[in-house]
Structure 1
Amino acid sequence: MVSFDKLSHPYPIKRQATYGRNGMVATSQATAAQAGLEILKKGGNAIDAAIATAACLTVVEPTSNGIGGDAFALVWTEGKLHGLNASGCAPRNISTEKVKAAGYEEMPDYGWTPVTVPGAPSAWKALSERFGKLPLTEVLEPAIRYAEEGYAIPANLSRLWKSAYDTFKKELKGEAFDEWFRVFAPDGHAPKAGEIWSSQDHANTLRSIAETNAESFYRGELADKIVAASEANGGYFVKEDLAECYAEWVDPISVNYRGYDVWEIPPNGQGIIALQALKILEGFDLTERDTVDSMHKQIESTKLAFTDALQHVTDSKHMKHTVEEILSDAYAEHRRSLISEEALLPVAGKPFGSGTVYLCTADNEGNMVSFIQSNYKGFGSGIVVPGTGIAMQNRGKDFKFDEEHVNVLKGGKRTYHTIIPGFLTKGDQPVGPFGLMGGYMQPQGHLQLVVNTIDFKLNPQQAIDAPRWRWDYGKHVEVEERFHHHLADGLHQKGHDIQIALDPNGFGRGQIIWRDPETGVLVGGTESRTDGAVVAW
C-alpha cells in the first residue's frame, strides 16, 4: 500500500478522500455512481456495478459517451488482472478512395463517415457473462429507469450540453442530423441546469440490450435499424460489420515504476504512451514535489512517448513495431538521453528491433474494475439512429489518408484509440484502478496521477486535485489556472511555451480507488473539476 502523506492538503480542494469497506464506486456523475452502489447493495459484485454505472452514464452524461461508443476495461478478480478491448472496427466497405471521392481531404468530424462499429454494448455483455453475478436485466435497470423517468441536469453537464448544441446548430446540416436535435434538444435548446431530461427511445434500447444480452444490438432489430440509417444517409455499414463485432479479452501490458507495476490495455489504445513515459521518467530522481525540474522531466518524457505513439500505434495487427520494442530498456534509455535542461522539439524515434467517461469500482470480495467508455468527441458524430436514442461515435476521425502512415484508413481496421483504463499493483497484490478521461490528455493524466501517488505520496483525492499540465504540440504546454505561477515561469525559462488555460475541462476528469491489502479498507478520490462523486458502502 502506498504510504500516503499525512500533512495538510497541498492544493485547494472541494472534498477529502473517501473511505469505505464493503464497496466503492467513483465516476463523473453522482447519479451514475449511486446506480453502481445500488447494484452492489443488491448483491452484485464490482463487475456488475461497473456495468450498471457505465450504462447509466450513457443516460446521465450523454455529452461524453453513449450506447454507440467504445469501451475498455481492466478487471482484477481471483488474483489476476484481465484486459478487455471493446473498440469496434471501421466498416468493411469503407476506404480512403471512397471517402476522397465523396469530397473529403481528411476524415470528417460528423456524419456517418467517421462512425465505427460501437463496442460498448459488447463490453457490458462480455463482462457480465464472464465475471458478473447478476443478470444484465437487473444490472441495467437503474439506467433504464433514469432514461424513462428522467433526471435533473447538473450545472456542469448543462454547460457542456449547451456548448455541444451551439456547435451542432452551426455545423450539422441535413436530415441525417435531425434525430440528434429531436432527442437531445427536444425543446429547441440544450437542457438547462435543474431541467428534467428523459428519452424513452434510450430506455427501450437499453431494455432490449439487457433482455437479449446485446444480441439485438449486433445481430437483431437494433442492428437492422443502424444499418438502415447508414444506408439512407450515405454510410458504409452492412449487417456483417455489426454481426462480427465481439469484445476481445487481451493480456494487459505493464512497466515497473519504482517498485509498482502500472498496467494498461495494449494497442490499439494509447495506454502505451503512459508506460513509455514512465519508463523514461524512472531514470530520473523526483525527490521534491512541485519543482521546475520535476515538471520539466515529466513533460519531456511525455512528449517523447506521445510522438512515438502517434507515429507507431494503431490496430496491433497493423503495427510495424511491437509493444516489447517500444517499452524496451534500451529504447527508453535512448529516448531519455535526448532530455536536457532545455525544452525539446520532439521527433518520433525508431524503436529498436527484437470526449469520454471513466469509472472505477471495488467490492468486499476483492474485485476491482477500471472502465472507460466514449463517443470520442462530445456527443460523437452527431448521428442518432432514429427511434433508438443511440448516439453514434466518431472514432474514425483519427484515421489517416496517407498510405504510408501506420493508422491509414482501411475497412475492418481498428483505429488508434485515445480511451485508456489504468491499474496499479505491487507484487502480486492489487493497489487499485485509476483513470482519467479527456482525449489526448489521458496518458498525460495517467502519468501525473501515478507520479503524484508513488513519488509524492499523495492520497487519491490529493493526486486528483493537484494542478495539471497538458502538452499539446512542439514546445506548447497548457497549465491550469491553479498551477503555481513560479513553476510556470520556471518552465518558460527552460524553453517551454507555457499558456494558462481558464477552462478546467481540458485537463481531464479522474477517478481513483486504492485498497489497503492488510485491512481491505478502500480509499477513493473523484474529480473536483466536474460533477464527480465517489460513493462508499
Structure 2
Amino acid sequence: MRRRSFLAALPAAALAAPAFATSRQENPNRDRPDVRPGDRIDGATFASRSAAWGIHGAAATAHPLATQAAIDMLRAGGSAVDAAIAANAVLGYGEPISCGIGGDCFVMLWDPKARKVVGLNGSGRSPRGLSLETVRKRATPKGMIPSHGAIAVSVPGAVDAWWSLHQRYGKLAWKDLFAPAIAHCEDGAPIIQNTAFYLEASNRIFTRPGSGIEEVENFKKVWTRDGKTPREGEVFRNPELGRTYRQIAQGGGRAFYEGEIAETIERYFKRIGGWMTKADLAAHKSEWVEPRSISYRGVDVWALPPNSQGLVTLQMLNILDEFDVKAMGFQSAAAIHHAVEAKRLAFEDRARFYADPAFYRQPVEWLLSKDYARERARLIRPDAIAPTYYPGKAPSHGDTTYFTTADKDGMMVSIIQSNYRGMGSGLMPDGLGFMFQDRGELFALTDGHPNVYAPGKRPFQTIIPGFATRGGEPMLSFGVMGGDMQPQGQTQVVCNIVDFGLGLQEAGDAPRWHHDGGMEPTGEDLGQPGVLNLETGVPDATKAALAKLGWVMKPAPGGYGGYQAIQRHPGRYAAATEMRKDGVALAY
C-alpha cells in the first residue's frame, strides 16, 4: 500500500471525538501575547524548563521519538555517532519539514581518542549535466535560481555522511540504527505540532498554481488525504520511506547512491525532465575537513570552513570580542545593537567570500584574524546605525534540524541536517517516501562570483553545527537551526553563556533577535541597513532604545531558529532543547 493512512492506529471510539489540538488561529485563548508563562521556583524567570542531567550519555533533538531512539542506542552500548544516525533517521520520518535523506548533513564531533574536534562535510554537488546556461534560462525575474523544482536540486549528502561517520566511529551494527525509524514508518506515530503547522504551509506552496514544480502527485500521495495534511496528534505512516530505510539498512550507506534507489531516482528525473543521474549519485563522497576556531574570552569556538557559513559565527564573535559585552548588560539595547552590527559586517564577507573551496580559495586566515576583526569593529558606532557596510578588502592571494548526542566515552556529536527551504524542492522520487533538497537555489548566477553556479559544484550552505572547547577539553556541542539565523543564533547562545553566565537551557530560552538585510551569497541585495526582528520577550525599554537608534523592528514570529545543546561537565552531561520547537532533551 503506497497511500499514507491517517488515524490508522487509533480505536474507533477515539475517532468520534474532536481529540486533536486546534491551531492558534482557531482558538483565541491560544493567541494572547498579554498572557506570559507561569513562574518557575528557580532558574531564569524566562526559562521554559531546566536542563536534563546524566553521567552516561545525552541526546537533544527536535522530536521526542528521535531523542528516545538516540538514548536507546546509547543504552545498547552504541557510540554518540550511532545515536546521532538513529535519531536522524527518525527525524526524517517525524520532522520531514526540516530534514531527510534527500538533504545534506554537516558534522563536528569531539573524538576522545584523538582528543580533538573533527569535521565532516556531507554536502552534495550540482548535476553534471545541468549547465549554467540552462540554469540562467530558468532563473526568476530577479535573476535568482527558483526555490522549488528540479533546477534547485543537488545530490543529497546525508546518507553518505551517516555511512562515513559509522565506518569510523560506529559500534553497533549499521542495520540496527534504522530499526526505530522503520518501526515508526510502518506502525505510525502522532504528528507533532511544528510538523503539522509546516506541512500545511508546504502543501499550500507546492500545490499552488504556477509553483514551477514539475510533479507534486507523489507529495500529495504521501502527505495529504482529501487535499489536507495531518493535524497535530493525528497518526501518520510512511511505508514508502520505511522500505527505503530497509534497503539502506541492509545494503549499507552506498546503497542510496549505487543501487536500486539510485536507479529509481534517475528514472524519476528523466520522467519529469530533470537532470540528476545515477552517475551524479555514484560520484558523491563526503569529505573529512579541518574545523577552524577562534578564542572568545577564553573559550575556543569551532566552525566548519566553506562551503558552509560556519565562519560567520567566528567572525561575529571576533568582532564582539573587541567590546565589553558583559558591561553592556543582558538583553540591553547596546548589546543587541553591537551584535547586529557585527552580524551585518560578517554577512557582507559571507556574500563575497563563501563558496565551494574546490572552485574558489577563501582567504580564511585573514577573515578569522584578530587584526581584521579589530579593523571591522572600529566601523561600529555605539550611537548610530551604519547606513551601509561592505565586505573587507582581502589580500591579493587568493527549514533544517539540529541535534546533538554524547556518550559514556566522552564523544560529543554536533550534527545538522537539512532539506533547506522548508521541506525542500517539492519533488519526491517514485515510491521512496522522501523529498529532495533545494540547496541549488543558493548558487549565484553572476559571472566571476565565487559562488556562481557550475556543474558538479557544491552550493553555498547555510547549515552549521557548533562546538566549543575550553582548555583543550570539550565544553559545548550546540546549534541553532534556521537558514541565516544559524550564525546569529549561535553567537547569541555563546554570549548568553560566556558573557552573561546563563545556564544551558536558559541560554536557548532567552529572547532572540534576527536581522534581515545586506548582500546574499546568491548576489541578491536585501537592502541596508535592513530590518531587526525581535521576539516579544525582549524588554520594552530595549525596544524603545533600539528604535531611538533608528532600527526598523518587526516581531517575525517563527523566525528565530531551533536550539539543541549538550554541555560537558566533569563526569556528567547537561542537555537542553528548544522551547520554540517540540523536541526533548534526555540524559541518563
TM-score bracket, shorter-length normalisation: over 0.9
Aligned to 1:214: 253
Q: Is the 8 A contact 1:17 1:524 kept in 2?
A: yes
Quote the offset at 1:20 in angstroms.
Answer: 1.1
Aligned to 2:33: none
Matches within 5 A, 1:342-361: 342-344=384-386, 345-353=388-396, 355-361=399-405
Deviation string for 1:204-242 (max 9, x for gaps)?
111111111122211111011111111111211122211
Query: Which of 76, 95, 101 is the aligned partner of 2:110?
Result: 76
Structure 2: how far apart are the matches of 1:418 and 1:202? 26
1:407 aligned counterpart, secondary structure: coil
Structure 2: how far apart are the matches of 1:154 and 1:112? 29
Structure 1: how far apart are the matches of 2:484 and 2:70? 27
Query: Which of 426, 430, 433 is the aligned partner of 1:389?
Result: 433
Matches within 5 A, 1:2-151: 8-78=42-112, 79-102=115-138, 104=140, 105-151=143-189
CA RMSD of aligned residues (A): 1.6
Q: Is the 8 A contact 2:149 2:212 kept in 1?
A: no
- Residue 471 (structure 2) pairs with residue 437 (structure 1): no
Residues 260-269 or 231-240, more deviating: 231-240
Q: 1:498 to 1:330 in 2, by over 3 A?
A: same
Aligned to 2:27: none
Q: Is the 8 A contact 1:208 1:214 kept in 2?
A: no
Deviation string for 1:243-275 (max 9, x for gaps)?
110111111111111011001111100011000
Deviation string for 1:294-349 (max 9, x for gaps)?
11111111110011101210101233532112112221111111111211122222
Structure 1 runs (4+) greater than 6 angstroms displaced: none
Quote the offset at 1:193 in angstroms.
Answer: 1.2
Q: 1:365 to 1:113 in 2, by over 3 A?
A: same
Q: Is the 8 A contact 1:47 1:128 kept in 2?
A: yes
Aligned to 2:490: 446
Instruction: Give, as a single letter, the amino acid of the residue that structure 1 aligns with 2:304.
Output: I
Residues 170-179 or 108-117, more deviating: 170-179
1:467 aligned counterpart, secondary structure: coil
- Residue 552 (structure 2) pairs with residue 500 (structure 1): no
Query: Which of 521, 535, 541 is the aligned partner of 1:486?
Result: 541
Query: Which of 407, 410, 417 is the aligned partner of 1:363?
Result: 407
2:484 aligned counterpart, secondary structure: helix
Residues 419-428 or 12-21, more deviating: 12-21
Aligned to 2:216: 177
Query: Which of 198, 206, 209 is the aligned partner of 2:237?
Result: 198
Residues 86-95 or 8-17, more deviating: 8-17
Aligned to 1:301: 342
Matches within 5 A, 1:388-407: 388-407=432-451
Aligned to 1:322: 363
Q: Is the 8 A contact 1:128 1:135 kept in 2?
A: no
Residues 212-221 or 421-430, more deviating: 212-221
Q: Is the 8 A contact 2:348 2:390 kept in 1?
A: yes
Quote the offset at 1:290 in angstroms.
Answer: 2.1
Structure 2: how far apart are the matches of 1:217 and 1:431? 35
Instruction: Give, as a single letter, the amino acid of the residue that structure 2 aligns with 1:62.
Output: P
Quote the offset at 1:106 in angstroms.
Answer: 2.5
Instruction: Give, as a single letter, the amino acid of the residue that structure 1 aligns with 2:243.
Output: N
1:76 aligned counterpart, secondary structure: strand
Instruction: Give, as a single letter, the amino acid of the residue that structure 1 aligns with 2:190.
Output: A
Instruction: Give, as a single letter, the amino acid of the residue that structure 2 aligns with 1:243.
Output: A
Task: Structure 1: give runs of 5+ residues left out of the alignment.
Answer: 1-6
Query: Which of 318, 329, 333 is the aligned partner of 1:279?
Result: 318
1:92 aligned counterpart, secondary structure: coil
- Residue 372 (structure 2) pairs with residue 331 (structure 1): yes
Residues 11-20 or 335-344, more deviating: 11-20
1:506 aligned counterpart, secondary structure: coil
Quote the offset at 1:8 in angstroms.
Answer: 4.8
Q: Is the 8 A contact 1:321 1:351 kept in 2?
A: no
Structure 1: how far apart are the matches of 2:362 and 2:428? 37
Quote the offset at 1:353 in angstroms.
Answer: 5.0
Aligned to 2:3: none
Aligned to 1:3: none
Q: 1:292 to 1:8 in 2, by over 3 A?
A: farther
Q: Is the 8 A contact 1:11 1:462 kept in 2?
A: no
Quote the offset at 1:175 in angstroms.
Answer: 5.9
Structure 2: how far apart are the matches of 1:103 and 1:495? 35
Q: How many residues align?
A: 528
Quote the offset at 1:433 in angstroms.
Answer: 0.3
Query: Which of 567, 575, 581 is the aligned partner of 1:514?
Result: 567
Instruction: Give, as a single letter, the amino acid of the residue that structure 1 aligns with 2:147.
Output: D
2:567 aligned counterpart, secondary structure: strand
Q: Is the 8 A contact 1:70 1:86 kept in 2?
A: yes
Deviation string for 1:389-446 (max 9, x for gaps)?
1210000001111112211110000111000000010121000200010001000001
Instruction: Give, as a single letter, the amino acid of the residue that structure 1 aligns with 2:331.
Output: D
Structure 2: how far apart are the matches of 1:103 and 1:336? 37
Task: Structure 2: give runs of 5+ residues left out of the alignment.
Answer: 1-40, 518-527
Quote the offset at 1:11 in angstroms.
Answer: 4.1
Q: 1:403 to 1:15 in 2, by over 3 A?
A: same
Query: Which of 160, 167, 179 is the aligned partner of 2:198?
Result: 160
2:532 aligned counterpart, secondary structure: strand
